[in-house]
């Protein structure tokens, strides 16, 4: 999947070697999504349903749109290829599904959240 996104070999190796911590917080109608890898952190602020032009951590320029459906956070990165990340939050875990809109590639993993 990372190769199809255009990530170089070194970034793919680094990204695959470490687990991540995902934090989602809300203040008023604005959300903050923080993703933390051992030595790297990304932060995104957004309002549900509103698009925002961003440059991803791997350098792609996309229109990023977040939607919230119950306990699911859907992120669409619309660019040369549309990439979708679905995060489903539970009390004890986070299930993340990611792939390209055309269904060419999909991956799924679970992360147990500890306090």
pLDDT (tens digit per residue) in 91-112: 878 888 888 877 655 555 555 5
Taking 70 as the pLDDT cut, the residues of the chain under it are: 1-8, 11-12, 14-18, 39, 103-115
> DSSP 3-state assignment of 43?
strand
Q: Is residue 4 part of a domain?
A: no
What is the pTM for the complete model shown?
A: 0.75
What is the reported pLDDT for 110? 59
Domain CATH number, residue 88:
2.40.128.20
- When divided into structural domains, the chain yields a total of 1
* CA 5/CA 53 separation, integer angstroms: 17
* CA 113/CA 89 separation, integer angstroms: 10
* CA 68/CA 8 separation, integer angstroms: 31
Q: Is residue 37 part of a domain?
A: yes
Residue 46 structural domain: 9-112
Q: Is residue 31 part of a domain?
A: yes
Residue burial 77-113, b: 16+ Cβ < 10 Å; e: rest: bebeeebbebbbeeeeebebebbbeeeeeeeeeeeee
């Amino acid at each position: 999947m990372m190769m199809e996104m255009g990530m170089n070999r070194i970034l793919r190796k680094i990204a695959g070697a470490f687990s991540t911590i995902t934090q989602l917080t809300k203040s008023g109608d604005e959300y903050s999504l923080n993703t933390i890898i051992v030595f790297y952190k990304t932060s995104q602020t957004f309002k549900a349903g509103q698009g925002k032009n961003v440059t991803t951590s791997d350098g792609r320029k996309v229109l990023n749109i977040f939607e919230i459906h119950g306990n699911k956070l859907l992120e669409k990165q619309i660019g040369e290829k549309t990439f979708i990340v679905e995060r489903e939050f539970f009390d004890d875990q986070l299930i993340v599904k990611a792939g390209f809109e055309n269904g060419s590639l999909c991956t799924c993993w679970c992360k147990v959240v500890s306090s």
